[in-house]
Amino acid sequence: ARQRFMEAHWLAGECGLLPPPPGHAVRVRTLDTGGAGPVSMLLQAKRMVEVEGCSAVAVVAGDSVSSLPSREFLARADESLLPRDPPEITWEADEAKKEAARFVPPTPVIPSTYSHVTQAQMARFGVTREQLAMVSVLMSAQAARHPHAVQREQYSLQEVLDAPQIAPHVGLLECARKADGAAAVIVVSPELASSLPPSPSPSLSS
């Protein structure tokens, strides 16, 4: 099959979910946040139920990029996240355009965007580089206990800190690995959940 960056977005279009069929109360959203995708999508689903009045939200994710050469993967990732029509900045440009231009991250875009967030956390809340690195340490410890984890090697804090730098305050061992796979979770409102029959035993597939 042809490899596509952010496979779930393409699949939604193929299934007719993008754009929503006329007359159907369907909302379809795609989030491109790299390794933070699962958490970002679950938070978005929670907001759609609690704030936007949705009764059920299907959170679907999929990627097929593990066999892509690294340079091609980075090029596709950058292309999907950079503004398609970046603002033209001149000395006469208004402050809004100048401000927008300042937030266009350099390549690689995903780690550079995370770097922007980490620097804000460090400046505003006093988060240390060691505290940021401990996220990767703790995640590797969890993965080491999971029989189906893509990477089961456990990292020490020093190994994470000494890894090659990909962006300011973001090292190689803090970046998500390329992987193929898909998953889906249904988030429903308490009202809908209470009206449903008891769920059967959970099933897992891959």
3-state secondary structure the chain: CCCCCCHHHHHHHHCCCCCCCCCCCCCCCCCCCHHHHHHHHHHHHHHHHHCCCCCEEEEEEEEECCCCCHHHHHHHHHHHHCCCCCCCCCCCCCHHHHHHHHCCCCCCHHHHHHHHHHHHHHHHHCCCHHHHHHHHHHHHHHHHCCCCCCCCCCCCHHHHHHCCEEECCEEHHHCCCCCEEEEEEEEECHHHHHHCCCCCCCCCCC
Strand partners, 165: 171
Distance between CA atoms of residues 69 and 53, nearest Å: 42
pLDDT tens for each residue of 65-100: 888 888 888 888 888 777 666 555 555 556 655 565
* Residues of the chain under the 70 pLDDT cut: 1-8, 34, 83-103, 199-206
Radius of gyration of the chain (CA): 20
What pLDDT is stored for residue 38 in this prediction?
A: 83
Confidence (pTM): 0.65
Distance between CA atoms of residues 78 and 70, nearest Å: 12
